[in-house]
Structure 1
């Protein structure tokens, strides 16, 4: 298993833990709209992270084979974010807009925290 795949799987685990906590929060608290917004945003964030992983893997294969790659799929990732924000704005009684935006940046927070933790572990060895 490549290092990129290991890192991606680790990030997915963390994000799925967040989603599980959000589902529990939705089920057991009175803040339904906030947790639904977090669930929607984090789901989009997980999709975008998976899409970026897939495109990065494809880029690596193309470089080793000497082929051209046309893009990393930024338009698709932005469209997913715009769709999530649109849904949150269309149904404000179901999704809290600020929570959707916080959920969207969850993948980036997970990546940064994981990087810091991995650097600390590497420096101790």
Structure 2
């Protein structure tokens, strides 16, 4: 399995772990509105991560075959973030907008932390 595939699997696992912790927080915390917002943002963030991974794989194939350039889906990911924000603003009684914004940033935090952990582990091996 390629390094890229391993990285994708690791990042998806971490996002699923985070989503399960957020669901537990929404169910058992005294702040359900914040956790519902965090859950909404995290679900859209997970979707954006999936779109990013899929489009990066396509971009790699296009680069190998030297065909026409492909996009990485920036407009789709921005649209998803806008939709999550609109849902939170429309249903303010259920979702906390700050939680949605933090949730939308979670996939990028997972990518950065995964990269840092990967390089620390590489340094320890050598």
Place the TM-score, normalised by the shorter chain, in its bin. over 0.9
Q: Secondary structure at the match of 1:105?
A: helix
Output aligned runs, 1:43-82, within 5 Å: 43-82=43-82
Segments of 5+ residues of structure 2 without an aligned counterpart are none
Alignment of 1:20-31 (within 5 A): 20-31=20-31
Q: Given the alignment of the two structures, is residue 101 of structure 1 paired with residue 92 of structure 2, yes or no?
A: no
> TM-score, with normalisation over the residues of structure 1?
0.96
Cα distance per residue 1:51-90 (max 9 Å; x no partner): 0111110111111112112311111100000000011011
| CA shift for structure 1 position 2 | 1.8
- 8 Å contact from structure 2 (residues 59, 70) kept in 1: no
Unaligned regions of 5+ residues in structure 1, if any? none
Could you tell me which residue of structure 1 aligns to residue 12 of structure 2?
Answer: 12
Aligned residues: 125
> TM-score, normalised to structure 2's length?
0.95
For the aligned residue pairs, the C-alpha RMSD in angstroms reads: 0.9
